[in-house]
Amino acid sequence: MNGDYDEDIHNVCVECEGKGGYIASPTADGGPNDGKDVWEECQYCNGRGYNGKLKGKIVAIDFDGVIASYDGWKGIDEHGNDCLGADILIHELIDKEAMVWIFSTRLNPQVNKGYKVPELRGKLWSFFRRNKNYPKYDPDHFDIWDFRGKPIADLYIDDRAYHHQTNATWYPDEIEEVMKRLEG
């Protein structure tokens, strides 16, 4: 049912019943899709209904710096070494029936010009195929997020993140810490 949406309920994804809010409307902009209905994927369940079928939580894990070591961009085919224990973490999450999404800027065709998303996805999967300790592709528990932005998740694991307590006040020392991190 990927991409199948119910227009009678304000363009809400019928897979997750609108938990992700509204999705884009059909367009006819004079471009290559002129006259055709073009829909964005639901950013909540990706039109596949994953969230409604999982017993566990959704965990989004950044690739560079968390799964593979990162020491600056060296090219689309260059991955760092396996971060020790990352495979164990992923297996433990899957054992608890979580859905693990791997996300990465590597999948952005605007950053990696000349490549289409399926090619970029294949290049990222090559890391997991070479590192046999990682689980194999499983659409219910382990996959690569190849859509725009980060997936909506219960937990994000990212080496460049700054943790801010939900709904908390931003105090001057926290703002200063964010600025220090940006300065390097």
Q: The tokens of 71 are what?
A: 């020491």
Q: Write out the residue range of the structural domain in which residue 40 sits.
A: 1-53
Same domain, 142 and 166: yes
Residues 40 and 60 in one domain: no
Q: Does position 143 have pLDDT exceeding 50, yes or no?
A: yes
Mean pLDDT across the chain, nearest whole number?
A: 74
My answer on whether 68 and 133 are in the same domain is yes
Q: Do 87 and 157 have their domain in common?
A: yes
Verify that 23 and 112 share a domain, yes or no.
Answer: no
Do 27 and 104 share a domain, yes or no? no
When divided into structural domains, the chain yields a total of 2
Give the mean pLDDT of 174-179.
88
What is the average per-residue pLDDT within 33-38? 34
User: Does 165 lie in the same domain as 89?
Assistant: yes
Q: Are residues 13 and 99 in the same domain?
A: no
Closest among 131, 49, 53 to 90, alpha carbons compared:
131
Q: Tell me the pTM.
A: 0.67
